[in-house]
Amino acid sequence: MTSDLTGALSDPSLRKLWDRLPRARLVGGVVRDLLIGRDVADIDLATPEPPDVVQHTLADAGIKVVPTGIGHGTVTAVIDGRPFEITTLRRDVETDGRHATVAWTSDWRADAARRDFTFNAMFCDREGVVFDYFGGREDLLAGRVRFVGDPDQRLAEDALRLLRYFRFLGRFGREEPDLLTLAAIKRAVPRLARLSVERVWSELSRILGGPRASEMSALMGRLGVLDALLPGERTQGRLERTVSCGAPADPVLRLGALTTASADVLGQRLRLARREVDRLNALRTLPPVTPTLGCDDRRRLLASFPPAAVVARSWLAQGDVVGAPDPEWDRLRGWILDCPVPMLPVAGRDVVAAGVAAGPAVGAVLQDVGARWRAGGCVADRRTCLVWIREAVAARPS
Ligand code: ATP
Ligand code: MG
**41 C-alpha vs ligand 1 centroid, how far in Å?**
12
Measured by CA distance, the residue closest to atom 2 of ligand 1 is: 29
Q: Which residues contact 174 (CB under 8 A, 6 or more apart)?
A: 142, 143, 144
Domain 1-142, CATH: 3.30.460.10
Q: Which residues contact 137 (CB under 8 A, 6 or more apart)?
A: 35, 119, 122, 130
Let me know: does 194 contact 97? Beta carbons within 8 Å.
yes
Measured by CA distance, the residue closest to atom 5 of ligand 1 is: 29
**44 C-alpha vs ligand 1 centroid, how far in Å?**
9
**302 C-alpha vs ligand 1 centroid, how far in Å?**
42
Residue 116 Cβ contacting ligand 1 at under 6 Å: yes
CA torsion sign for 21, 22, 25, 26 is positive
Measured by CA distance, the residue closest to atom 6 of ligand 1 is: 29
**338 C-alpha vs ligand 1 centroid, how far in Å?**
42
Measured by CA distance, the residue closest to atom 22 of ligand 1 is: 115
Residue 28 Cβ contacting ligand 1 at under 6 Å: yes
> Where do the H-state alpha helices sit in 305-381?
307-319, 328-338, 348-353, 360-375
Per-residue pLDDT of the chain (398 residues; tens, 9 = 90+): 666 778 888 999 999 999 999 999 999 999 999 999 998 888 999 999 999 999 999 999 999 999 999 889 999 999 999 999 999 999 988 888 778 788 899 999 999 999 999 999 999 999 999 999 999 999 999 999 999 999 999 999 999 999 999 999 999 999 999 999 999 999 999 999 999 999 999 999 999 999 999 999 999 999 999 999 999 999 999 999 999 999 999 999 999 999 999 999 999 999 999 999 999 999 999 999 999 999 999 999 999 999 999 999 999 999 999 988 899 999 999 999 999 999 999 999 999 999 999 999 999 999 999 999 999 999 999 999 999 999 999 998 86
**CB atoms closer than 10 angstroms to residue 290:** 15
Domain with CATH 3.30.460.10 in the chain: 1-142
Mutation to probe ligand 1, out of 120, 157, 207 (largest number of atoms < 8 A from CB): 120
Q: Which residues contact 208 (CB under 8 A, 6 or more apart)?
A: 217, 251, 254, 255, 258
**27 C-alpha vs ligand 2 centroid, how far in Å?**
9
Per 3-state DSSP, what percentage of the chain is helix, strand, and coil (rounded to 5)? 55, 15, 30
- The values of phi and psi at residue 273, to 5°, are -70, 155
- What pTM did the predictor assign? 0.92
CA distance 286 to 296: 15
Measured by CA distance, the residue closest to atom 8 of ligand 1 is: 29
Residue 209 Cβ contacting ligand 1 at under 6 Å: no
